[in-house]
Structure 1
Amino acid sequence: MKLRSIRSQLLIWLISSVLITTLVVGFLTARLTWSGFNNVRDMGLEQIAQTVVRHDEAAPAQPPAPLPSTALADDDLDQFVSQIWDHSGQLVYSSLADVGPPLQRPGHNIVTWEGESWRVYTQAHDRRIVQVAVTTKIRRQHFYSLTPWLLIPLVLLVLVLAVLTSTGVDRVLLPLEQLRSDIARSDPEGLQPIDTSGLPAEVAPLADTLNQLLARIEHMLNHQRRFLADAAHELNTPLAVVKLQAQLVRRSRPGEWEGALDQLDAGIERASRLAFQLLQLARLEPEAQTAQQQTLRLDDLLREAVAGFSARAEQQGCDLGLVSAEPVSLVGDPHALRTLVDNLIGNALTHNPGPVRIDVGLHVDGGAAVLEISDNGTGIAPEDRARVLERFVRLSPGDGKGSGLGLSIVGEIAALHGGRVELADTPGGGLTVRVHLPLFTSRTEPLSP
């Protein structure tokens, strides 16, 4: 697709407007000038007629006096006629050998005589009628001779306006060129904001929007750098353990293979779980979250999640159940919310030694849905509850359980849906996790405690 130049479009519109305006003004000027020119020439005819009248009144027996030099141009004399008529309509005198135009009513008239158009002025006095006439052809010729003096200023005006318009457009678009240069010089590693000082009001919002985009990109890059660094560090340990266990299998006797293989399988499972949770965490970055939001039933999602963990809970001897689930609809990403629930139930099963009771509930409190998962296990000390929502925080690093990502993923999913996570004690001992999610809302500010 061919790109269109703003400068070219502005120049086309502005210069076209100047040309159209000039043509309209030129046309109106020509009409007004022609009207004024005719008025001046008509006044000349009146002066000639009055001169003839005065001469005829003073000396009726003599021919008319010579015409005043200012009344008519010399080139008009061969196409000019003066006549004297009596009141009976008889021609008394004509300056032409021929009769000339017929007698007209008093005042200015236009008459066609011998195939030519004549401008006639007729004036009566007590004794006779004086009529003077000139061809309209000579008038047009004289007017056309003045046309260059009308056109030259208009042409010069158009040229001057075109130059000024082009210069003005270049100066007006200079901030855009400066903005382009600033963006071209930007360091992709630093992504420094664009300087908006001195930008016009129409360009400043564009620069501000670009700065906001650069800030989001910088934020995303920082997340990616931190994620890659954390992932490389965290994956190193389980992979080293897997490698060590593989070496132990190689060195063990045939009777010891079963135990060594079990340890190797557990190590691979931990590494796989860590990689899966890292992938979940990467997908939950705000800039990478592209799943479409939709209205869903959170109570149905809870039932599916509890059913999915029932076999594992039974194998571990845990009592997992959905104790209450009010019908709740909200707007959210069903895959992310299922990940949230799975991580909460999975954490409760993973980090509690021995059989425990895990209750899952859902109710509405004000304008939010409250998802509650409680257990009667070991719980988390109050001073550690804020830390466990951070990435890669493990309260017992040496036990080999978990990756320190489960609750961090829960917190980020809740934040993406405008919610918050609350950790509290379970009456009688254990941990209760409450997730507050606003109803029919997505990607809003987090709910206040």
Structure 2
Amino acid sequence: MNSIRSRLLLWQISAVLITSVVVAVLSFRLAWSGFNNVRDLGLEQIAQTVIRHDETPAPPPAHTPPPPTSEGWLDDDEDLDQFVSQIWDHAGGLIYSSLPNIGPPLQTPGHHIVTWQGQSWRLYTLPQEGRTVQVAVTTEIRRQHFYDLMPWLLVPLALLIAALGLLTRAGVNRALRPLESMRSDIEQRGPEGLQAIHTTGLPVEIAPLAQTLNQLLSRVDTLLTSQRRFLADAAHELNTPLAAIKLQAQLARRVGPAEWPAALDELDAGIERATRLSSQLLQLARLEPSARQPILGPVQLDDLLRQAVSALSARAEHLGCDLGLAGAEPLKLNVDAHALRTLVDNLIDNALNHTTAPVRIDVSLRTEGPSTVLEVSDNGPGIPAADRARAMERFVRLAPGDGKGSGLGLSIVREIAELHGARVELDETPGGGLTVRVRLPLTDIPHPATP
């Protein structure tokens, strides 16, 4: 299982074990060296004691005892559990041995490790006043005594390793407790629980994660709120034309054949309004933050404007309006062709839809400094300066009683402009009317951040 807790415990406990092994080896070597130094010092003290208490004159040398055979000293294994002290005269003759037939030959002054009769010995030789004292002990005895002390060295180390393991586990669990609390908090929340996570007191490693998660929750909450508002507004706005269509259909059934054409015209107008509202709602839904990812590509803007004017010229002619391209510099920009065509269509359609008399509608394209200016102006009724900011909001109709429009045209224009990093300006046309100006940057348009 891919677990942070397991990884931390594995690495930390492994580090403790490896460190403990290294410490144990070093401690063993240091303890063995110190033990030998202490025991060697003990040999020196024994030699000094023997020298001080041996005050009898040395007897004349008789004969040097023959060196013991391996059978001789093997019979005295029980005596090897203690040290052997020997006194030699100035001629190298052995005059005293604490264990008969046991002990290595005389060595030069100082400490030595010698092998005698297949046995390793540690000894100390001290010459003084015509005599030489030699004190020896087998290495095996010394090693056995050291091994007898080893449990007392290993028990604390084992207890230390166990304590470190338990403390490491407790420390890891305590360090990961904020993550557990955060997980529990998020797990207990419902679909509406998008409030921010408390970051007070969180460790510095977890606080950035919580802050990033709070930013995500905030964006999701904004998105859901926007979608709920959009659905509520859409349902409300669709209810009006659909109710009108139903009423007009009922009236058409009640009137006589002579009044059928007029009733059907009213029915067609209601259907057209519902169709237009549905189309704008679909356009607006495609511009929601969750779906607003432009498909950029090089677009010849002057050709796009000509196509839009040509497509809507028949409707303008039917309404008695003069729609034309006042001027279009040849410009190519990296934009979303479909979205920008929707923007131009909505600007022209907005001008045609809110006129009560034949008007002149001019579409133009030019460059002003670092921007490309797309402009649609008319000499219609216009929008008062105090209402222009509100006119950009969704489902806002400044003249709700005229039965025209759905309050979505300019809001769609604003959404598409924001998608391209552009700015929308509402101004008054000289002589009266409304001019909508869209300033597009000449530089490449950055992709908007996905919420």
TM-score tier after normalising by the smaller chain length: 0.7 to 0.9
Question: Which residues of 2 match residues 98-113 of structure 1 at below 5 A?
Answer: 98=101, 100-113=103-116
Q: Who is 1:175 aligned against?
A: 178
**Could you list the per-position Cα deviations for residues 157-212 of structure 1 after superposition, in whole angstroms to 9, with x for gaps in the alignment?**
22222233333333333322332333234353353333333333333333333332
Counterpart Cα distance in 2 of 1:315 and 1:419: 28
Q: 1:212 aligns with which of 212, 215, 234?
A: 215
**Could you list the per-position Cα deviations for residues 343-393 of structure 1 after superposition, in whole angstroms to 9, with x for gaps in the alignment?**
223323333443523222132434x44322223333323233222111112
**Is 171-180 or 399-408 further displaced after alignment?**
171-180
Q: 1:10 aligns with which of 5, 8, 11?
A: 8
Q: Who is 1:35 aligned against?
A: 33
Counterpart Cα distance in 2 of 1:26 and 1:391: 77
SS of the residue aligned with 2:200?
coil
Q: Give the CA deviation at 1:251.
A: 4.3
Give yes or no for contact 2:293–2:448 (8 Å, CA) kept in 1: no
Q: 1:346 to 1:302 in 2, by over 3 A?
A: farther
Q: Give the CA deviation at 1:143.
A: 0.7
Q: 2:328 aligns with which of 324, 328, 331?
A: 324
Q: Who is 1:440 aligned against?
A: 444
Q: Who is 1:303 aligned against?
A: 303
Give yes or no for contact 2:343–2:416 (8 Å, CA) kept in 1: yes
**Matching residue's letter, 2:203:** P
**Could you list the per-position Cα deviations for residues 250-294 of structure 1 after superposition, in whole angstroms to 9, with x for gaps in the alignment?**
4455565555444433322221221121122223222x1352564
Q: 1:129 to 1:146 in 2, by over 3 A?
A: same
Counterpart Cα distance in 2 of 1:62 and 1:195: 99
Q: 1:104 to 1:301 in 2, by over 3 A?
A: farther
Q: 1:363 aligns with which of 358, 361, 367?
A: 367
Give yes or no for contact 1:186–1:192 (8 Å, CA) kept in 2: no
Q: Who is 1:271 aligned against?
A: 274
**Is 139-148 or 163-172 further displaced after alignment?**
163-172
Give yes or no for contact 2:301–2:330 (8 Å, CA) kept in 1: no
Counterpart Cα distance in 1 of 2:267 and 2:88: 137
Counterpart Cα distance in 2 of 1:234 and 1:403: 7
**Matching residue's letter, 1:289:** A
Q: 1:302 to 1:144 in 2, by over 3 A?
A: farther
User: Do residues 312 (structure 1) and 296 (structure 2) align?
Assistant: no
Question: Which residues of 2 match residues 283-302 of structure 1 at below 5 A?
Answer: 283-286=286-289, 288-292=290-294, 294=296, 296-297=297-298, 300-302=300-302
Counterpart Cα distance in 1 of 2:294 and 2:27: 65
Q: Who is 1:72 aligned against?
A: none
**Is 401-410 or 303-312 further displaced after alignment?**
303-312
Equivalent residue pairs, number: 428
Counterpart Cα distance in 1 of 2:302 and 2:237: 31
Question: Which residues of 2 match residues 160-239 of structure 1 at below 5 A?
Answer: 160-189=163-192, 191-239=194-242
Counterpart Cα distance in 2 of 1:337 and 1:199: 47
**Could you list the per-position Cα deviations for residues 276-318 of structure 1 after superposition, in whole angstroms to 9, with x for gaps in the alignment?**
21122223222x1352564x445x1452243144032145333
Give yes or no for contact 1:321–1:358 (8 Å, CA) kept in 2: yes
Counterpart Cα distance in 2 of 1:88 and 1:255: 159
Q: Give the CA deviation at 1:233.
A: 1.0
Give yes or no for contact 2:47–2:124 (8 Å, CA) kept in 1: yes
User: Do residues 340 (structure 1) and 343 (structure 2) align?
Assistant: yes
SS of the residue aligned with 1:59?
coil
**Matching residue's letter, 2:423:** R
Q: Give the CA deviation at 1:425.
A: 1.8
**Matching residue's letter, 1:81:** V
Counterpart Cα distance in 1 of 2:295 and 2:25: 63
Counterpart Cα distance in 2 of 1:365 and 1:76: 111
**Matching residue's letter, 1:220:** L
Q: 1:311 to 1:161 in 2, by over 3 A?
A: closer
Give yes or no for contact 2:58–2:89 (8 Å, CA) kept in 1: no
Give yes or no for contact 2:109–2:126 (8 Å, CA) kept in 1: yes
Q: Who is 1:130 aligned against?
A: 133
Q: Give the CA deviation at 1:137.
A: 0.9
Q: 1:153 to 1:172 in 2, by over 3 A?
A: same
Q: Who is 1:383 aligned against?
A: 386
SS of the residue aligned with 2:431?
coil
Q: Give the CA deviation at 1:432.
A: 1.4
Q: Give the CA deviation at 1:128.
A: 4.0
**Matching residue's letter, 1:177:** E
Counterpart Cα distance in 2 of 1:97 and 1:20: 50
Counterpart Cα distance in 2 of 1:220 and 1:169: 38
Give yes or no for contact 1:302–1:341 (8 Å, CA) kept in 2: no
RMSD: 3.2
SS of the residue aligned with 1:61?
coil
Counterpart Cα distance in 2 of 1:303 and 1:54: 123
Give yes or no for contact 2:51–2:133 (8 Å, CA) kept in 1: yes
Give yes or no for contact 1:415–1:443 (8 Å, CA) kept in 2: no
Counterpart Cα distance in 2 of 1:372 and 1:213: 37
Q: 1:319 to 1:342 in 2, by over 3 A?
A: closer
Q: 1:290 to 1:383 in 2, by over 3 A?
A: closer
**Matching residue's letter, 1:324:** A
Give yes or no for contact 2:302–2:331 (8 Å, CA) kept in 1: no
Counterpart Cα distance in 1 of 2:215 and 2:79: 79
Q: 1:334 to 1:58 in 2, by over 3 A?
A: farther
